Amino acid sequence: MKDYIRQRVKEVAHYIYETKATVRQAARIYGVSKSTVHKDVTERLNKIDGQLAEKVKRVLDYNKSERHIRGGQATKRKYEKLKRK
């Protein structure tokens, strides 16, 4: 694994763990695709730091468990915004 990839994986993982960010939020911050972030924290991170990988996995599992709620909130905001116009 190239050094810049290893560095990005660590940075993204720490960001997700510390801020409880979603994959989408992390991708936006680091300027990479959601697929890249997902591969970084689910596959590559295990090879670099197993303990951090487990912590990040817990955050991702929590985010996944709440995604239906976030989606509903986003839809509600969308239609409230349209209603105001």
pLDDT score for 10: 96
**CB-count burial class (<10 Å; 0-12, 13-18, 19+) for 55:** middle
pLDDT score for 78: 87
Domains identified in the chain, total number: 1
Alpha helices (H) in 1-85, listed in sequence order: 3-19, 23-30, 34-39, 45-48, 50-84
55 is in which domain, residue-wise?
Answer: 3-84
Closest CA to 23 of 3, 39, 6, 7: 39
Q: What string of pLDDT tens digits covers the 85 residues of the chain? A: 899 999 999 999 999 999 999 999 999 999 999 999 999 999 999 999 999 999 999 999 998 888 777 778 778 888 888 888 7
